[in-house]
Homo-oligomer: A and B are copies of this chain.
Amino acid sequence: MTRATPSDNRNQNCRHFSLPDAELFYWPAYLTAPAADLLQQQLSRELHWQTASIRIYGREVAIPRRQVWMGEPHCRYRYSGTDFLPEPWHPRLRELASQISQALQHPFNCVLLNQYADGQDHMGWHADDEPELGLAPQIASLSLGQSRRFDLKHRQLECQLQLLLQHGSLLLMAGTCQQYWQHRLPKQAQAKAERINLTFRYIAPK
């Protein structure tokens, strides 16, 4: 079992944030830089990136990023009024999901990929709290490319955490993070390059 514990804070390889109602674990170099470089290039080239639209107050609005929803066939995902059917696994991502499941001792069977062309692309405040993810879902978030600021805020308590998600890093959002906290990827004018983010999740078969 490789799950991090608070004592891992002295281990340069893991940073643990134990917050009211949330546990975060951050590995700044989960992938080596060359492995992260290769993965980013492969995903950027080989996936069918979609500019999805969502319905906001009855209007169809293109979201400010491109995305792919992928995983086991039963992993349907409903997000802002739209049903997403999963693309079948890209072999490299099936392998990566399996490696991360093994490392964190937690199953992951689907992944939402988001591609941010530059600092204008972003994602607003939200939580990964769709019912199909179950109670207290664990979300494993792998970052490739441009470092971007990542904000978390508690829904009731007045506190906010800002992290920098680096190329090759893995962030595990655990505990009741999705229930009590929201997160976002804000716009960043100075961010000029592409970031790809993979959030691995688990949806139980029916």
Interface residues of A (CB under 8 A from B): 6, 9, 15-21, 157-164, 166
Cα–Cα, bound, A163→B17 (Å): 15
A162 touches B159 (CB 8 A): yes
B17 touches A18 (CB 8 A): yes
Give, as a whole number of angstroms, the nearest-CB distance from A106 to chain B. Answer: 20
Closest B residue to A18 by CB, please name it: B18
Give, as a whole number of angstroms, the nearest-CB distance from A179 to chain B. Answer: 13
Contacts of A161 in B (CB 8 A): 159-162
Question: When the two chains form the complex, which single residue of B6, B15, B157 contacts A157, counting CB atoms closer than 8 Å?
Answer: B15
23 contacts between A and B (CB under 8 A): A6-B18, A9-B18, A9-B20, A9-B21, A15-B157, A16-B18, A16-B20, A17-B17, A17-B18, A17-B19, A17-B20, A17-B159, A18-B18, A18-B19, A158-B163, A158-B166, A159-B162, A159-B163, A159-B164, A160-B161, A160-B162, A161-B161, A161-B162
Closest B residue to A15 by CB, please name it: B20
Main secondary structure of the interface of A (DSSP, over half): strand
Closest B residue to A164 by CB, please name it: B158
Closest B residue to A152 by CB, please name it: B161
Contacts of A20 in B (CB 8 A): 9, 15-17
Contacts of A164 in B (CB 8 A): 158-159
Contacts of A21 in B (CB 8 A): 9
Contacts of A166 in B (CB 8 A): 158
Cα–Cα, bound, A149→B29 (Å): 32
Closest B residue to A154 by CB, please name it: B15
Contacts of A15 in B (CB 8 A): 20, 157, 159
